[in-house]
Amino acid sequence: MKKKLGVIAVLTIIIVIGLLFLSTGGKMASVMLVDYSLSEDGKMITLKVGVASSMGYVRTLKTSEDGNKKRITFYSTYGLNSNIGAKNEFQVELSPSCDEIYFYSGNDEYKLKLQKNNQTNAWERAK
């Protein structure tokens, strides 16, 4: 009987850990832009990001482009507040037509973070 209870306890722990692992790694809406820099040729931008909430770390990002707009969705690390695989700096390729960069802000919405100044052609934080 003790052996059966031990096996059940181990299986329950494995299932709980598995569910916690699978329930994380999703889209993050609390990512903020800390700093950015542009490559000399203007084809890459390096984004330094942080997380506004006290829990969570950024693992990776996915980008999509629609005309002049680059949309960036950040994804959390796996595990509860685990920093394994966490990054805070990402390089993003820019097309010549790109003049706006948006970050995912939840509910399939994106918020403008950077935009190119039409007069100076320099990237600036959105107001």
Instruction: Go through 35-55 and write b for each residue having 16 or more CB atoms within 10 A of its CB, e for each that does not.
Output: ebeeeeeeeebebebebeeee
Instruction: Go through 11-28 and write b for each residue having 16 or more CB atoms within 10 A of its CB, e for each that does not.
Output: eeeeeeeeeeeeebbeeb
Average pLDDT over residues 11-34: 78
pLDDT at 7 over 70: yes
Q: What band does 58 get if pLDDT is binned at 50, 70 and 90? A: very high
Which tokens is 67 given?
A: 């005309």
pLDDT at 93 over 90: yes
Domain boundaries, the chain: 26-125
* H or E, element range at 20: helix 2-22
Average pLDDT over residues 22-43: 87
Give the pLDDT score at 82: 80
